[in-house]
Amino acid sequence: MIRNITLAFLILLSGGVLIRAEDSSQPAAQQSNQQFQGFDLAGYKDGGQKAWDIKGDRADILGDIIKLTDIVANAYGEEQMNLTAKSGTIDKVSGKMHLQDDVVVTTQTGSKLVTDSLDWEREKNVVTTPDKVVLTREGMKTTGTGAIAHPGLNTAQINENVTVTVDTDPKKKDSNHVTITCDGPLEVDYATGNAVFNNNVVAIEGERKLTADKMEVFFDKEAKQIKEMICTGHVSISMGQNTSYSEKAIYKAAEQKLLLIGTPKLIFYTQGDDAVLPLTDTESQSSKTDEGK
């Protein structure tokens, strides 16, 4: 039974952790398991600055485990992170926190991660989940299964079944999209604007399709667009029925240039809608005249 709130108290734990709750007014002999309505937990750095805080509507303290409901947590540092979940647990000894059901992580820069469960190891400054995740950032949406990320979500790894959708020009409402899939893992560093796709990589934009064993994508952080793509291992590039093959390909978006490296092979069709047709005598002469100008 949870008694009415009558007295606030403070419990000091190891590692600069401060708990603020409401006394259940139970006799000391009965307080090995305690229940509280309203609960605040905070951690502080050596200099006294707040490192993180956690609030819950209800807390059940069962020995070294604290069970919380309707959780709101914050991590403070170079970039603030907010976490919410329907329920979770905190281990008072290790400081580890497990969040469960409707877990949402948001950051100051607008990154957002949604998943079913999340483990937050505050000492290692890392969050992990084995579940399906949806990670969004301006101009980019990533889905997959299993993730490891640092609070702030500036660096993240999506483990399996990765799908990424990138706006080719986020400033335009009706911009084209590039969809990239891979078996995983995907490693993303938003701070440097770099993403590495691994294993069975497929990128599609309109009628163009590119496949490779590995793909590195470099983003222009100011324009929030793809700047360069480097593909390695069994590279193939298709446009309709026309296909080229190589061991490596480098695409530079600003120059709209594609460089094939490592025994490139080109296959073109001369019939049908995707045919690459030879120049007529008139077109050939016109081309030579233009080059001589």
**How much is the average pLDDT of 10-31?**
44
Domain ranges of the chain: 154-293
Find, among 124, 68, 67, 53, the residue nearest to 94 by Cα: 124
**How much is the average pLDDT of 1-28?**
40
Mean pLDDT of the chain: 78
Say which residue, 230 or 254, is predicted with more confidence.
230
Say which residue, 168 or 144, is predicted with more confidence.
144
Reply yes or no on whether the pLDDT at 67 is more than 80: yes
Reply yes or no on whether the pLDDT at 217 is more than 60: yes
Lowest mean pLDDT among 5-9, 33-37, 77-81, 255-259: 5-9
Q: What per-residue confidence (pLDDT) applies to 288?
A: 40
Reply yes or no on whether the pLDDT at 240 is more than 90: no
Reply yes or no on whether the pLDDT at 232 is more than 50: yes
Q: What per-residue confidence (pLDDT) applies to 279?
A: 38
DSSP 74-138: EE-SSS-EEEEEEEEEEETTT--EEEEEEEEEEETTS-EEEEEEEEEETTTTEEEEEEEEEEEET
Helices (H), strands (E): how many in the chain? 1, 19
Q: What per-residue confidence (pLDDT) applies to 273?
A: 54
Q: State what percent of residues in the chain have pLDDT above 70.
A: 75
Q: What per-residue confidence (pLDDT) applies to 270?
A: 55
Scored b (16 or more CB within 10 A) or e, 97-130 reads bbbeeebebbbeeebebbbebbebebeeeebbbe
- Give the Cα separation of 118 and 78 in Å (integer): 22
Say which residue, 281 or 100, is predicted with more confidence.
100
User: With bands split at pLDDT 50, 70 and 90, how would you rate the model's confidence at 31?
Assistant: very low
**How much is the average pLDDT of 31-45?**
70
Q: State what percent of residues in the chain have pLDDT above 90.
A: 35
Q: What per-residue confidence (pLDDT) applies to 6?
A: 29
User: With bands split at pLDDT 50, 70 and 90, how would you rate the model's confidence at 147?
Assistant: very high
The pTM is what?
Answer: 0.75
Say which residue, 290 or 34, is predicted with more confidence.
34
pLDDT tens digits, 106-121? 988 888 999 999 998 8
Reply yes or no on whether the pLDDT at 10 is more than 50: no
Q: Are 118 and 84 in contact (CB under 8 A)?
A: no
Reply yes or no on whether the pLDDT at 144 is more than 80: yes
Tell me if the domain spanning 154-293 has CATH number 2.60.450. yes
Find, among 143, 137, 150, the residue nearest to 115 by Cα: 143
Which range in 17-21, 132-136, 192-196, 262-266 is most confidently predicted, on average pLDDT?
132-136
Cα distance from N-terminal residue to C-terminal residue, the chain: 92
Provide the pairing of β-strand 97-107 with 81-91: antiparallel
